[in-house]
Structure 1
């Protein structure tokens, strides 16, 4: 089981196309503290080469979502890929 699999599994169960989670909520789901680098937009950004995507990125993309850091809020908006 990967470190971010609980987040992936949670996102897969969601019916909404758009949802926000705080860092604390995500940490509760994964059972670990997010790294300090999670406060940087690039940690959440899509990589230019999908084959080299980091493990956290694979978690939400495998669930069908994109992620964007909400600046200054320690929150992330997950939006279902392909939704408007």
Structure 2
């Protein structure tokens, strides 16, 4: 079987040899910044889709907020929430350091604060007042 890394292309592709995505040898040193390992494609994080959803919801609705079930959030982000999401502290931003966590940045940047009810597996995203 010929190894996919021996072919020329501009980004990672599924490699049947390894059973995962691989980079071509000649692109490893020169891969574009948008393929950074820590940020994935275009620097998009796991929770960016949730931020996009909330921004769109905010533009289209006049309500004070939206309640989402954990399962709906998982559908939006395309993956499972971590075990920590079962704790209310995971959702609230208490202080400046907490606000920089990637999952919190998604709703804070979209103009929301999160109020979680982990036992009910729901989160209420309430609009923050605009200054």
Q: CA offset at residue 47 of structure 1? A: 3.0
Question: Higher relative contact order at CA 8 Å, sep ≥6: structure 1 or structure 2?
Answer: 1
In structure 1, list runs of 5 or more residues that go unmatched: none
Q: Within 1, Cα distance between the matches of 2:113 and 2:51?
A: 12
Match of 1:32 among 79, 83, 94: 79
Q: CA offset at residue 82 of structure 1? A: 1.9
Q: Report Cα offsets for 1:25-75 as digits up to 9, x if no partner.
A: 000000010001001010001131157621010000111000011241010
Q: Within 1, Cα distance between the matches of 2:119 and 2:67?
A: 14
Taking structure 2 as the reference length, the TM-score comes to 0.59
Taking structure 1 as the reference length, the TM-score comes to 0.89
TM alignment of 1:1-84, pairs within 5 A: 1-14=44-57, 15=61, 16-50=63-97, 53-82=100-129
RMSD: 1.7
Which structure would you say has the larger Rg?
Answer: 2
2:34 equivalent in structure 1? none
In structure 2, list runs of 5 or more residues that go unmatched: 1-43
Size of the aligned set, in residue pairs, is 83
